[in-house]
Every structure is written in C-alpha cells, then in structure tokens.
Amino acid sequence: MVGGVEKGAKSPHKLVVENATKFYNTKSGPLHALDNYSMTVGDGEFVCVVGPSGCGKTTLLWSMAGLHGLTSGQVTLDGEPVVKPHPQIGMIFQEANLLPWRTLDKNINLPFEIRREKPDAQWIEHLIERVGLQGFGGKFPRELSGGMQQRAAIVRALSFNPSVLLMDEPFGALDAFTRDEMNLLLEEIWLETRKTIVFITHNIAEAIFLSDRVHVMSARPGRLGKVFKIDYERPRAIEITTGREFFDLVNEIKSEIDHHPSGAKKGRAQRVAREAVS
Amino acid sequence: MVDKQLRDTIPEFGKKAGAGDGQVGVGNMSGLSSGPGARTFWEIAAIVLVAVVIIGGAEVTLRLLAIPSYILPVPSEVAVALVTDWQFIGPHLVHTLIELFSGYAIGASIGLLLAAVITQFPFAEKIIAPYILVLVTTPMLALVPLLMLNFGFGYTPRIIAVALASGPMVMINSATGFRRTDLAKIALARSFGANTMQIFMKIRVPMAMPMIIVGLLIGSIFGLLTAVGAEMVGGGFGLGNRLTTFSSTIQMPQFFAVIVVLGVLGISLYVTFFLIGKKWASWEA
Ligand SMILES: Nc1ncnc2c1ncn2[C@@H]1O[C@H](COP(=O)(O)OP(=O)(O)OP(=O)(O)O)[C@@H](O)[C@H]1O
Ligand SMILES: [Mg+2]
C-alpha cells in the first residue's frame, strides 16, 4: 500500500520518515510511543494521519518538526536529516498556542523577532485578509473566538513562507460548523500556496475531506496501518461529506482503526471513530 | 511540578501545564484588587462617605467622651499636627525613603536575578529552597541590633535589613513565576529556531511577569516594615525614630501624623505595583 521508502539523498519526496521509533523515559520505565513508523510525503502533497487518542501522533509530528529526537530512525527534508527545528517547516500546534500577552500582530511577528528578520508585510497582510482577520491585529487572543485564534495561528505559521506545514489537530477544539469552515479555508489556502502539509487529526471525516492520502496509525505504540488514497476532485465541497461513498470510506477507515491488533483499549478507538462519523 | 527536570528538553503532550495552574496573578493578589473595584461615581462617593463617617465619628465620639489627647487625639488635631509640624516629619520621611529605595533596589534585583537563574537548574533549586525559606520566614528585624553593632547607626544597617527583608520575598514569588512551564509555548518558540536566551526573554519572562510583580509588591511592603522597624531600634532619624520619640514625649497628634504618612506610603507602593500589573500583566486576569 505504501510507496517504498527510498534510501539516500536523492529521494523524490519532500519529507521522508524512515523507521521512526521513539521511547519516552518515564518514571515507570520506557514508554514505547512510536514503533518503526515510515511515511513519505510528496512535494505539495496533503497527507493526514489519523489514529486513536494517545497513539503517538504528536510524537511523530514533533520529530518531523525537529522538536525532539527519535530513539531510532530518521526524518529527512529534501534529503537532509531533520535534527533541529528547520526554517522551512511551519508548525501548528494542538490548540492555537498563541502567546496571551501579545496582540495578534505581535504574535504573528514572533518568528521574525526570533530570527531577527524583517517580516514580509505584504505577504502577511495578504494572509490576514485571506483568513479574514483584518482589523483584529491589536486584539489579544483572549478577546477572540477559538476559530479566530486558530486563523491567527495559521497566519503565524505561514508568515515566513515555509514549504512544509505540520498541523497537530489544529481544529480539534472547534465546534463542527467552525471546523467545516476552517477545513474549507485550509483547502483554499493549500490550493493557492501548494505547501506540503502533514495534518494530524482523530476525526476521520476531516482527514478524508482534506487529504490526498490518509495514513492510519495504530494504537500505541504508533505503527503505520493502511494508507488510503483519496480521489475527490478539488476544490472539494462540504457536501461530499454527506454522500454514501464518503460514509463508506469513513467506515472502512474506522474499522481499520478498530481492528488493529494492539493492546489498545478498544472502546476508546471506537468512540473516536464514532465521533468522526457524527 | 514533578516534571521540572524535563523542562525544555522533553515535551509533554496532552497535559496543559501552565494554563493557570493555581497561580496568583496581579489581578487577584489581594482582597483589594480581586474584587471588582470601585468604578462608578456612586461607588467612589460611598467610599468617601464611609471615610467621612469613620473620621467624623471618631472626632465626635472622642470629644463626647472627653478622651484626653495624650491617650487618643481627635482626627482634627492629627491633621493640624501633620501640617504645622511637618518640618519635624518631612525630613525623616526622606531618610526612610532613602533606606527603603536603596535597600529595596539591592534586595529586589538580587532576588529577581537569583530567581531567574536558580529556576533554570532544578537540582540547585532543590538544594537552595530550604535556605530561602529560612530567609523568608525569619523576621530580618531581629538582625538589626547585630547589624547596628557591626555597621553603626547610619543608613547602612537599615539598608542591609531592608534588602534582606525584601529580597527573599521578591525571589520566592518570582521563582514561582519562572517555574511555570508551558511546553507548548516553549516548543513554539523553538520551532522558530529560538535559543535558550530567546526562550527565556520571550516566553519565560512574560509568563512569569504576573508573579514577579506580586513579588515586587510584597517585597516593597516588607521593605517598608523593616525600614521603620529598624529605625525604631536605634539611630536618631527616620519615621520609625519619630514614632518612638513622639510617643516617649507623649506628642500623640504628631505620633498619629507619622502613622498617617506611613499609611499613605504603603498605599502608594500598593497602587504603584497595581498599576504596573495592569500595564504588564493584564493578560492574566
Ligand atoms: N514527554 C513525554 N514523556 C512521557 N510520555 C509521553 C510524553 N509525551 C507523550 N507521551 C506518551 O506517549 C504516548 C503518545 O503520545 P502522543 O502525544 O504522541 O499521542 P497523540 O496521538 O498525539 O495523542 P492525542 O490524540 O491525545 O493528542 C502517550 O501514551 C503519551 O502519554
Ligand atoms: Mg497529540
């Protein structure tokens, strides 16, 4: 199912994860979070990773972002190993993760302050307009709704024009309507910018709606399960999510998560999957 | 707070540390500011009215009961003393302020610096913590006689006492602030390539700011207490010295005039830090 992982620097893929294994040191001994996980992401591809809660999705994404190391295996970007945060990688965290003591403008400016670079004002203004945040620059995060905070986080991650965007359940805390809205917005932005995106979610419908390919991760330790290729034409409309075909696909992915042999609590995986369908 | 050792190196997912984990903010550091606070004309009018009733009531009651001035002076006498005898009070206020500000500047900067450094080294912090606690809980006033023995009766022993009293207060509160960890925010800065110093300046310091301001406030109040107390112990100047002098010569209106000055001084300290908090830490209300 998965395209074989090519070794060496001449990979045709933008982002390659090779046999990623990670143990955390905990008080009760090593905790196996990620097991021999491999995946490839093509240039400009939109890939989603779905998996039950606590299966190691964030662990995987953080290693892709160079935020923490792997116990074994490696991540490469354009053939170069990622061992520390990379300027070509933008990260969107679980929850918007804006700094509450900074206004939106100052939050968006943070990457440039840290890199001591001049922000590209025109590009940022375009992004702000694109997500509909004009006029909110002077506001503090607490003055904004969750959806607006997430929009600001998207602007911040794209502000320095990275070629790769890693998104960790960015819309998990939003209500269903806002989530649909954000999904449409994200697709539009992706069609416009053609960033390489890895998007993590435990919402199967969201994963199908957004991605070119859906990777299923097993319960902890996270292993690669099936990979589903999604062929809906773009731009996609929210209406496709109500079709029979879509529903069947959700169920197929759901059963893939449910039936994955692992020590995981089954009830939890089922609950996650049901949420996705509802 | 078990995961202190992991700070900065190993991210902890799922848990939302730092998001208001039982912290005291500037917005709720005391009963005075945690309440809604007076805003409208009527609320302020009511506060003034209460003051008038209390002061006027005291005036009338003391006069009716014919309490002699050397036991408890009426408020009007105190007010008159404050104005007419200001020449005997004002210069001493200056002495007290000099001791307070110099001692506080030294104590607060050392306290702040120590808090910032020590919280970056959890092991060192564990070792030092009990000693800081001793410094915080021991009334530094107790050392004043010894300090005077060693440093004479000038400013020096008082400044040292103020520094010793305010420093640990600033330190212990700021340390609580610096110890707050929000790994997602630190990871955010790191994802932009931030180094340790940048993480400290752009994430840790702002995150600690509400607690730092609380510490600076408490430290300043403790500094004032200690300055006045030290002045009462010895040396012929300062507001504390005025208190002992006026009471021993039974100049009660003057004595209470000094109390009024001290009260105003304390409230000014409070208001100053309250306003600083409003400006720099209002995001955490
Ligand atoms: N810093 C850490 N130290 C120890 N264990 C950790 C650490 N971070 C995560 N884990 C554990 O590793 C496993 C995988 O965590 P991870 O956050 O990657 O899961 P996830 O799939 O992102 O979960 P969720 O859907 O809840 O976000 C979990 O069991 C978690 O408790
Ligand atoms: Mg996660």
For A158-196, the pLDDT digits (tens) are 999 999 999 999 998 888 888 999 999 999 999 999 999
Are A188 and A155 found together in one domain? no
Please give all residues whose beta carbon lies within 6 A of any atom in ligand 1, as ranges: A 24, 26, 31, 33, 51, 53-59, 202, 220; B 10-14
Residues 6 or more apart whose CB falls under 8 angstroms from that of A202 comprise: A50, A51, A52, A53, A57, A169, A172, A272, A275, A276
Report pLDDT for B285: 60
Q: Is the pLDDT of residue A237 over 70?
A: yes
pLDDT digits (tens, 9 = 90+) for A116-171: 999 999 999 999 998 899 999 999 999 999 889 999 999 999 999 999 999 999 99
> What is the rounded radius of gyration, in angstroms, for the C-alpha atoms of chain A?
18
What is the pLDDT at residue A35? 92
Read off the pTM. Answer: 0.81
CA torsion A82→B182→B174→B120, rounded to 10°? -30
CA A123, A124, A129, A134: dihedral to nearest 10 degrees? -150
Examine the pLDDT at B32 and tell me if it is beyond 50. Answer: no
Residue A278 lies in a domain: no
Which residues lie closer than 8 Å to B121 by C-beta, 6 or more apart?
none
Residue B126 lies in a domain: yes
What pLDDT, in 10s, does the model give residues A84-106? 999 999 999 988 999 999 999 99
Substitution target in A86, A99, A107 with the highest count of B β-carbons within 10 Å is A99
- pLDDT of residue B15 exceeding 70, the answer is no
In a domain, B132, yes or no: yes
The answer to whether residue B200 scores a pLDDT higher than 90 is: yes
Q: Does residue A133 belong to any structural domain of this protein?
A: yes
Same domain, A27 and A62: yes
The yes-or-no verdict on residue B9 having pLDDT over 50 is no
Domain count, chain B: 1
- Domain span holding position A155: 96-161
Name which residue sits closest to atom 5 of ligand 1, judged by CA: A24
**Does B10 have pLDDT greater than 80?**
no
For residue B284, is pLDDT > 50? yes
- Which residue's alpha carbon is nearest to atom 18 within ligand 1? A56
CA distance A57 to A37: 11
CATH code at position A39 = 3.40.50.300
pLDDT at A259: 65
pLDDT in tens, B101-157: 999 999 999 999 999 999 988 888 889 889 888 988 888 899 999 999 999 999 999
Which DSSP string do the residues of B63-117 spell out, in sequence order? HHTT--TTTS--HHHHHHHHHHTHHHHHHHHHHHHHHHHHHHHHHHHHHHHHHHH
**Tokens representing residue B13 in the block:** 């997912």
Helix ranges (H only) for chain A are: 57-64, 104-115, 121-131, 146-158, 176-193, 204-210, 244-258, 266-277
**Domain tally for chain A?**
2
Last residue of a domain, one of A161, A176, A198: A161
pLDDT over 90 for what percent of chain B?
A: 68
Residue B172: domain span: 75-280
What is the mean predicted confidence (pLDDT) over A17-42? 93
Contact assignment for A91 to B194 by CB distance below 8 Å: no
Return the sign of the alpha-carbon dihedral for residues A101, A106, A108, A114. Answer: negative
- Residue A217 Cα to ligand 2 midpoint, Å, equals 12
